Structure 1
Amino acid sequence: MTLPDVTLNNGVRMPQLGFGVWQVSDEDVVDAVSVALETGYRSIDTAAGYGNERGVGEALSRAGLDREDVFVTSKLANDDHGYDHALRAFDTTMKNLHLEVLDLYLIHWPLPARDLYVPTWRALERLYAEGRVRAIGVSNFQRPHLERVMDEGGIIPMVNQIELHPLLDQRDLREFHAEHHIATEAWSPLGRGYLLEHPVIVDIAEQMERTPAQVLLRWHIQLGNVAIPKSVTPERIESNFRIDDFELSRADMDRIDGIDEDKRFGPHPDEFDGR
């Protein structure tokens, strides 16, 4: 058994399991990404707002892998909404990452109070048309935000990266994604660590002789989500990657589905103003 790729709505293939670097310093991220790439991860998720694009770029350069073998995602910072601002910010991101073409570029948050995500999306469409990025998408967009960029833009987003874990399963939004061929990507796939001690997850993990994190990531994979766990501990980075040799039963999937509480650990996209 091997972990599958997800085929985006433009035909680009994206690894279903990636490595996230939120809250990892620019110094620490070099070693963390290096361990991830050595382990076998071939998808790295960063963002301008994380302040670690330079470190990610250094780790990619050190790895010596062929460029086409690593899928790199970054996201537009909240202060750079607007058509011209977004284009300039992309140039900075590419300089930091030492890349000529990015695999996936996302609007990090919709920031509806600022009402600039539509012209920002048009800037991403331009970058895509120019071949500077292989796929474009959004992050933390709710259905009304998605519908608006789909109605007023020219391209359906290829990805929506959202907070998603068994306590916030986002079923309705995932169904909307599936209807419009938008890939669902989960940030905080482990519920910021809270779910590692949830009794249902712990019980399934003990029965299967797996870690709670492996069980949670396997749940995401079997749902069809893209997942990007984060760690700076080499043992956990490696353990999180070893989920290709077991499957959860339908009964276990149902047990995990049943713990949804509509609980967010991050801000609500309708209310978040970027600060």
Structure 2
Amino acid sequence: MTEPGATTFAKLLRQHIETGVIKPDDSVLVQFAGEFDQKVCAAVGLTNCNFANIAPESQSVGEFTEAAFMDAHKMPYDDGSFDHVIGHSGLHHCSRPHEALHEMYRLARKTVLFVENQDSIMMRAATKAGVVTWHELAAVIDGDFKDGGVDGTGVPNFVYRWTRREVRKAVASYDPAYHVPLEIHAEWNLGTGRVASAVLQKKLHLSDQNAEKTFLWGQKAFNKVFGRQGNIFAVTIRKDLKVLHAWMASPTEMERP
């Protein structure tokens, strides 16, 4: 299993810290937070984090802070309460994902970062072939059929996947007076402990270590060619760089839709 500090989520946070987009002591709201998210924040050096989760029974785990139970669709904070709002693999657990994303946008002063799955052509084909599913059953099974599903309940959630165009339209709707830059990252990340490594080990008579290396090498090569179609879809919404539309500055230049 990939270590939290080596995930796409952690890598993007580190990039933003290295470039000064996020400062280690900036205020950060971490939505849909669990032990994984708290480990990621600790690994990248974020020191001023607030953790929230839609699961009704979010509890502290070991050394980690308890994540407060909050409705992701209606958060109890004022506009711009945090410098950054981030979330990993949580929007697809929401019954109203666009509304939950709007709350992330509303609460952030500078950036919103979320990591989800992409609704690409190849992912649609994989879903149609039954390689991946439309509904997330495993999380509910792990939760003993009491939580892990939609809005933290025991009902398996539909896996809502995103497209570039969809995010651009959503953000333009949230803040129509401004052009808000988006930074979009897509890649294939199938993990190291899944079926593919086992198949390579069996078919090519490789050791565990060599099978994993071969799988990772193949995944890296696949990303070089087909990375844009990848299953992992990460977006940074740069509110800090938003610019007022020219026709807002000069109302006489407004055009009819």
TM-score tier, shorter chain, comes to: 0.3 to 0.5
Q: TM-score, normalised by structure 2?
A: 0.36
Larger radius of gyration between Structure 1 and Structure 2: 2
